[in-house]
Chains A and B, each alone.
Chain A
Amino acid sequence: MSTIALGLVRTKYEFIAYFREFDALFFTFLFPVIMLGIFSAAFSGMSDLGAGDAKVNFATYYLPAMAAAGILLSGVQNLAVRIAEEKSDGTLKRLGGTPLAPLSYFAGKLLTALVTGAMQLVLLMLFSHFLFGVALPTDPARYLDLLWIFVLGILTCGLLGIALSAVPRTGRSATAVVIPLVLFLQFISGVYLPFSQLPSWMQTVASLFPLKWLAQGMRSVFLPDQFKTLEVGGAWNLGAVALVLLGWLVVGLVVSRLTFRWIRKDA
């Protein structure tokens, strides 16, 4: 079977396994939905957020943030932790003894992240729309933007997750290495706190990493156009979103390719 066909075989079984692992299901798949629910419920009594004459409720404001966070969790967090655990518990050693190509293994991981990430995004949109009255975009062009931002974002985050999986020394330390990093990125990138209210040095640091751009892209999809006045430079700047994500995609691809091993090689 070809490398691609085997990637699809891997995807099928990765997908089945994904929904049988409670940890992944809760901390990756449902987490952004739960956070959106908590934020929206907690701030439901407060006045709407506005930019110019456009006003939105808190749930609407947090939807793009949680959409970006979901992509980060499905890509970076879930893959980095899962692959480090698989390296530690012998799963990768077993696969390494079969004719499976590492590329097929990567493809299985990335496609699973793509499918589960898409399901998560749809769930977030339906949840915020039906429970919190969030008005979803009606312009088809916005959905086209959503499509490329999502696909580029999940592939970039997935490759960065594969690259990051080489860092933890053991499966048990994987969450200790990965989760603080992911949390830190979410705080400085405007996921939990409004990006426009962060100090400019923090905005500058966040601009080096993909999450800030992913969140910006998601805001361009889900918020009224007037909100772009709150962005740095007063524009959505989707060209920069694409460039930064592509740049990190290449970094993730090169580092994954260079550092990936089925087992920890001895000296």
Chain B
Amino acid sequence: MTTDNVVTVRGLRKTYGLGPGAVTAVDGIDFDIARGEVFALLGPNGAGKSSTVEILEGYHDRSGGTVTVLDADPQHLHGGALRDWKARIGIVLQSPNEQNPLTVRQMLTQVAAFYPAPRAVDDVIAAVGLAEKASSRINKLSGGQRRRVDVALGIVGRPELLFLDEPTTGFDPEARREFWGLIRSLQAEGTSILLTTHYLDEAAQLADRVGIIAAGKLVDIGSVDEIGGAEARVPLVRWHEGGEVRERRTHEPGRLVAELGARFAGEPPALEVIRPSLEDVYLELIKQTRADAAAAAPEEALA
């Protein structure tokens, strides 16, 4: 049975340990990723992002719920069927730190051989901007350059579905923008992508939709422009008056600015009109979730 979704997750739960000491990392999550979509999973450290992603990648078994990735349940694949499935996905793990004495080209040539229809190694090296370092040993590269190698290894197998777990950690701003270009070209070729990142501008740039996880639960999910609801998008007008910073949320910032202009008989001091970015919306959602959790369990908040 083939659907248009490359990933379907329903009621996903993951508990580590047993008995009273058990920790619930993922506590009932639902989401889909459509074919060709870039979906970003956002959330604070320890929210359950990596647990979720590693279950989808087949590294961990889940404690509950159902998962379908490329029409298969990774937990129940074995042998040749598992390898055929792995040939269709690409994985960029969070910060591996192996001491790899092979050169960039050697490592990519090796890994490309594992796949039935790999990309050309030199094209991939050029795409991640490492053409000048192709003959350097990986353990002699800088942190940001090694991360590019990780990305190159993730895409060399020509995956239908690419997992990117905090791919741009250690990139300088220029490298990050080059990386965004690479992701857009992969998407243009039809690659579906699951991205986790701490850089909200990155998610805003790349993702078609985002899901926000906090404390193992999906707090919100939607397109970058809609997430957090209309209320969270209300523009903020900020100015200085009477020696202090004044702020007001309004659907009509133009009218407010005009009023201020009239009141100050000229330019209002330090005037700003702010449209909340994805980062502002995200921080507000996380703050609300924490407040709700504290209200629900006041004794824990005191402890």
Contacts and interface: CB of A to CB of B under 8 A. Distances in A.
B96 A94 contact: yes
Nearest to B60: A266
Given A13-B110, A93-B59, A98 B157 contact: yes
Interface in A1-42: 1, 6, 9-10, 12-13, 16-17, 20-21
Nearest to A9: B113
B102 interface: yes
Interface string B70-103: 0000000000000110110101010011111110
Given A98-B157, A99-B114, A101-B83, A266 B16 contact: yes
A17 B96 contact: no
Given A13-B106, A17-B102, A99 B86 contact: yes
Interface in A147-170: none
Secondary structure type dominating chain B contacts: loop
Nearest to B139: A20
Interface residues of B, number: 33
B17 interface: yes
Nearest to A104: B114
Nearest to B154: A97
B18 interface: yes
A93 B54 CA distance: 11
A104 to B, nearest CB: 8
A255 interface: no
30 contacts: A1-B113, A9-B113, A9-B114, A10-B110, A13-B107, A16-B102, A16-B106, A17-B101, A17-B102, A20-B102, A86-B98, A89-B97, A91-B96, A91-B100, A93-B96, A94-B91, A94-B93, A94-B98, A97-B86, A97-B89, A97-B91, A98-B111, A98-B114, A99-B83, A99-B84, A99-B114, A99-B116, A262-B59, A266-B16, A267-B17
